[in-house]
Amino acid sequence: MQPIRVPDRNASRAWIQSLRLASSAVVGLALAGCYVLQAARGQAAIMAKREPIDRVVARAKTPAHVRARLEQVVGIREFATRELGLPRNESYTTYADINRPYVVWNVFAAPEFSVEPMQWCFPIAGCVPYRGYFSESSAQRFAARLLRQGYDVHVGGATAYSTLGHFNDPVLSSMVRLDDVQLASIIFHELAHQRFYLAGDASFNEAFATAVEEEGVRRWLLSAKRDAELERFTDQRRHLVTVNMELARTRRNLRDIYENGGRPRYASDTRAAKAREFAALADRLGELSAEWNDGIDYRGWFARDLNNARLASIATYFDCVPGFERLLAASGGDLAAFYERVGQLARQPMAERRATLCGLDSPP
């Protein structure tokens, strides 16, 4: 099944994904100059490494952990189509050993006194709030250039990305080091991008894929009677919702600070207020980590670069998820009906769509 692509009446530019916080990312291939060259070469290199999963599983020298994960993928892939209505195609039926921990590194940036991310627009991929590099050193060089220009910057590695059905995406060696739940999450998320993609609205696309991912994992664990893992997944999801609420509150506070004081003569005061907000957020995340004791150090997770760009990167994936969850509930949990409602909503003007799904704190 081909993804639904809906033209955006409020934007003449279009988009592609990934990351994820883990996330999941999408790489645009149609750019100018050196960037398009590295993207095209990186994509071609991955395609050249693909092998059918059954061949890799049958090979005697395949490491046991890789074989186990790939055998798990077969069932996850079938569940995605049969139970979640996700595309039945050749994606995730092959394996590629990329010999690195991440497939791409995404660079996010935001002005010093703004919570809105920079956008980069490409002829095919459209506008996205990051640039993806197949080389970590290239990503870091680009990030360093933005830092010198005064931007807040975040560089995050992506375990997988989607080509939206333009290519048959393989399972990557960066994915098989994850546990079963994380692996299922990524496959459901990336296939959701193939099921539905709205040109020009990264927040809509990522939140949709995240909502499908989370519902998919819940149903998959239920069907397999993996009750302990389902309980742990549910708890972590609840905790993550709380963390995202804290991040959203900080963004609102920062937006007020920047709008009221982000002028040259007040720059030093604004920086001080900004630092206090991030310090308070870090303290709060530390308190939550200690309270939950779920094995995740939320303060440490953000410690390296807690800044405007990091907040923006999280917002892209999670701000609109509650809206999609409400839409699924209104559809009675029927995914076919849910997808139909998503298609109807996507045909609305962007401002109306964002107001319905994402609330007042969604990015413009």
Q: What is the mean pLDDT of residues 235-264?
A: 89
**In angstroms, rounded to a whole number, what is the distance separating the alpha carbons of residues 252 and 227?**
38
Domain membership flag for residue 363: no
Region 83-101 average pLDDT: 97
- pLDDT tens digits, one per residue of 159-200: 999 988 889 999 999 999 999 999 999 999 999 999 988 877
- Across the range 225-231, mean pLDDT stands at 96
Residue 161: DSSP 8-state: B
66: pLDDT strictly greater than 80: yes
The yes-or-no verdict on residue 42 having pLDDT over 90 is yes
Helices (H), the chain: 34-48, 53-58, 64-84, 136-148, 173-176, 180-195, 202-223, 227-261, 267-292, 298-302, 308-318, 321-330, 335-346, 350-357
282 pLDDT band, cuts 50/70/90, is very high
Listed range (17-26, 161-170, 263-272) with the worst mean pLDDT:
17-26
- Residue of 27 and 66 predicted with greater confidence: 66
Residue 364 within any structural domain of the chain: no
| pLDDT beyond 70 at 21 | no
Percent of the chain with pLDDT over 90: 70
Q: Would you say residue 325 lies in a domain?
A: yes
pLDDT at residue 20 tops 60: no
Is pLDDT of 362 > 50?
no
Confidence band of 77 (pLDDT split at 50, 70, 90): very high
Task: Note whether residue 324 is domain-resident.
Answer: yes
* Domain ranges, residue 110: 4-357
Who wins on pLDDT, 167 or 11?
A: 167
**Domain assignment of residue 126, yes or no:** yes
Mean pLDDT in residue range 217-245:
95
Higher pLDDT, 214 or 260: 214
Rounded mean pLDDT, 137-147: 97
Does 243 fall in a domain?
yes
Tell me, yes or no, whether 230 lies in a domain: yes
Number of structural domains found in the chain: 1
- The pLDDT confidence band at residue 16, using thresholds 50, 70 and 90, is very low
Lowest mean pLDDT among 1-15, 111-125, 140-154, 266-280: 1-15
Q: Evaluate if residue 209 carries a pLDDT over 50.
A: yes
Residue 303 banded pLDDT, cuts 50, 70, 90: confident
Q: Tell me the whole-structure pTM to 2 decimals.
A: 0.86
b/e map 267-285, b = 16+ CB within 10 Å: eeebeebbeebbeebbebb
Percentage above 70 pLDDT, the chain: 87
- pLDDT recorded at residue 6: 35
Query: Smallest Cα–Cα separation from 219: which of 357, 86, 322?
Result: 86
Tell which wins on pLDDT, 358 or 253.
253
Residue 249 phi/psi, 5° resolution? -65, -40
Residue type, 359: G
4, 197 in Cβ contact below 8 A?
Answer: yes
Give me 67's structure tokens.
């074989």
* Position 350 confidence tier, pLDDT thresholds 50, 70, 90: confident
Supply the pLDDT for residue 88: 94
Among 129, 136, 165, 144, CA closest to 38: 136
The pLDDT score that the predictor gives to residue 263 is 63
pLDDT, tens digit, 9 for 90 and up, residues 111-120: 999 999 999 8
- Predicted confidence at residue 31, as pLDDT, reads 41
- pLDDT at position 121: 82
